[in-house]
Amino acid sequence: MRYFELSEFECPCCKQAKMDQIFLNMLDHAREFAQVPFIINSGYRCDQHNREVGSTSNNHTSGRAADIACKDGPTRLRIVSALLKAGFKRLGIAKTFIHVDSNDGSPESIWLY
């Protein structure tokens, strides 16, 4: 990866980072397109941590999801545009982060938190 270290995706409780390589390659391409840093708030989550944060999906536990910090509209537009250009089809938009995943079998969607 050009723009990331695997340690950025570690689960906070067990320090594992079982990330999918195709997902990471796509994210690396998106980062190149955006030309702004991608600060990873959440990458891989073990089952226990996923339950602790209240998630009921397996996006993060599959290693095919990340939450990217974002604090303003212009940066959000650059990140979202780059993610779409890189081929991502599932995005969640929140006030302070953008969720992206490539979980096979889930419908293509953009949603709000």
Whether 1 maps to a domain, the answer reads: no
* pLDDT interval class at 105 (50, 70, 90): confident
Q: What is the CATH number of the domain that holds 21?
A: 3.30.1380.10
- 96 in any annotated domain: yes
Mean pLDDT along residues 62-69: 97
Q: Establish if 72 belongs to a structural domain.
A: yes
DSSP for residue 36: S
Contact between residue 50 and residue 60 where contact means Cβ atoms under 8 Å apart: yes
- Structural domain harbouring 12: 6-112
- 70 contacts 76 by C-beta, under 8 angstroms: yes
* Residue range 4-26: mean pLDDT, rounded: 97
In this prediction, residue 106 carries a pLDDT of 86
Residue 61 lies in a domain: yes
What does the pLDDT average to over 35-60? 95
Domain count, the chain: 1
Tell if the pTM clears 0.75, that is, is over it.
Answer: yes
Q: Provide the pLDDT for residue 103.
A: 79
